Amino acid sequence: MKELILGGARSGKSRTAEQHAIDSGKQVIYIATATAGDDEMAQRIEHHQQQRPDHWRLIEEPFALTQTLQQQAAEDHCILVDCLTLWLTNMLINKESELALSVFELVEVLPMLPGDIIFVSNEVGNGIVPADPLSRRFCDEAGRLHQNLAQVCDRVTLVIAGLEQSLK
């Protein structure tokens, strides 16, 4: 089962994804894409760490997402990736020239990977169009990434106010 869980900031999407991972009954591998660039982000990371069960395996990977999925995917594993929009941000800022190929590889490889994979991502297309070019590019890239992944995922869920809405 491949699943994409979308939602706004503090919508409950990570908690929903974590519950789906627990419900899988499989060994959970948590791939964290965040980097602690400032104190506020470090606090967010710490909050997520405190919520996760201690027995989950943690891999911190801000860039090589597809390669990490290929290395870790197994029939008895549930991989939880939190979050795609932070991975996208990392790529846009640090490896922009590799972004298109990285997204293409992720979408192409995902259906062939064994086991369960759950992606968490921020839905950013419900707000106003950002004023600056980088933010507009980010919104465009996130929208395209979500559309492409939604096509290859078995299940797509939108979380609003902690409530799951099944889209697919």
Active site residues: 48
Give CA–CA dist 42/36, Å, rounded: 5
What is the signed CA dihedral for 43, 65, 151, 10, rounded to 10 degrees?
Answer: 0
Angle (CA) 111-114-120 rounded to 5° is 65
The Cα 100–Cα 91 span in angstroms is 10
For residues 146 and 148, give the distance between their C-alpha atoms in angstroms, rounded to a whole number: 5
Task: Give yes or no for a contact between 108 and 66, defined as CB atoms under 8 angstroms apart.
Answer: no
Q: Which ranges of the chain would DSSP assign to H, the alpha helix?
A: 13-24, 39-51, 65-72, 84-94, 99-109, 133-152
Rounded-to-integer distance, Cα 24 and Cα 47, Å: 23
